Structure 1
Amino acid sequence: MMKTYPLNESDYHLIAAASAKITELYEGNKHHVGAALKTKTGKIVAAVHIEAYIGRVTVCAEAIAIGKAISDGEKEFDTIVAVKHPYADEVDRALKVVSPCGMCRELISDYSEDCFVILDVNGVTVKTKIIELLPLKYTRNS
C-alpha cells in the first residue's frame, strides 16, 4: 500500500501554479500538461510539456520543469505536480492532477530521491514520495 501524506497550503499553491501555467499556454496538439516544481529553497518552477508529431520527441512537463530548475542552479527538489488541460473536444472542462509517467518517475527519483509527488488516486488528490511510485528502483552502486 502506498504511503501518503496530507496536502498542505504549499501543495495547493503548487497545483495552482501548474494549473495557471497550462491555462496560460494551452495549445491543442502542442501543450496540454503543465507542471510545477518546488525546490528545497522554496522556488517554484513551472513549465508545459512539448508535444511532437513523432511521439518519442515529446518531452513531459515534469522533465522540462526539472531541466529549467537545474539550469537556474537549483539542485534539490521538494515537491512536483502535473496538471492536464482538457482537449478542445472533451466535455469535462476541468483541469486534472495527473500522475507522472514512468520515465518522469525515473527522472524525478534520479535527481531527488526524497521528492514528494502530488497525484490523483481514484479521484482523490494525494501526496507521496517518489520512491513509492518506483519501488525496487535500481541504484548506481548495484
Structure 2
Amino acid sequence: MKFKLMSTRFTMSLCFLSMETSKVFNKRILESLEESGFEGLSEALIVLFPYIYEEQIITSAKLAKKVGYSRQAMHKNIKKLVDFEYIILVSHNEKEKSIELTPKGLELINKANEYISNVEKDLSKLIGKKELDKYKETQSKIYEYLENTK
C-alpha cells in the first residue's frame, strides 16, 4: 500500500519559524566569519558572543543559564574559545572566573555585526525599510511578551 502526502506546503508555527530563521541566520553568520579567517567556530559557539559582548564581563554559570547550556557543555565551549583566543578567563575572586572578549573576539563581533548590517540592507531592499523596522518591532514585542509571561 502506498501513501500519498496530501500537501507538501504547510504554515509554520510562529515558534518553528523563529527557530528556523535563527538557525539559518547563525549558519550564514558562521560561514561569513569562516570566510574572514575566523577558525574553530561552530553554531553552538557563535551564539555565545552576543551575550558575552552585552554583559562585557560574565561568568560561565550566568552564560550557561542565558543560553540554556549545561555547565559541562559550557565548560567545553569556553575551553575552545580560550584555545582559539576569542576570550580570556579573568579571576576576580577565588570562587569564579569571568569571561572577557579578547581583541580577536571583539574583531569577530565587529565582523558579525558588519554581516548582519549587510543582511538588513538587503532585506530593506527586498521588503522595504518600513516593513523591516515593523518586523523588528514586532519581534521585540513578541520576545517581551514571552519573556514576561508564565
Q: TM-score range by the shorter chain?
A: under 0.3
Higher share in strand: 1
Greater relative contact order (Cα < 8 A, sep 6+): 1
TM-score (norm 1): 0.25
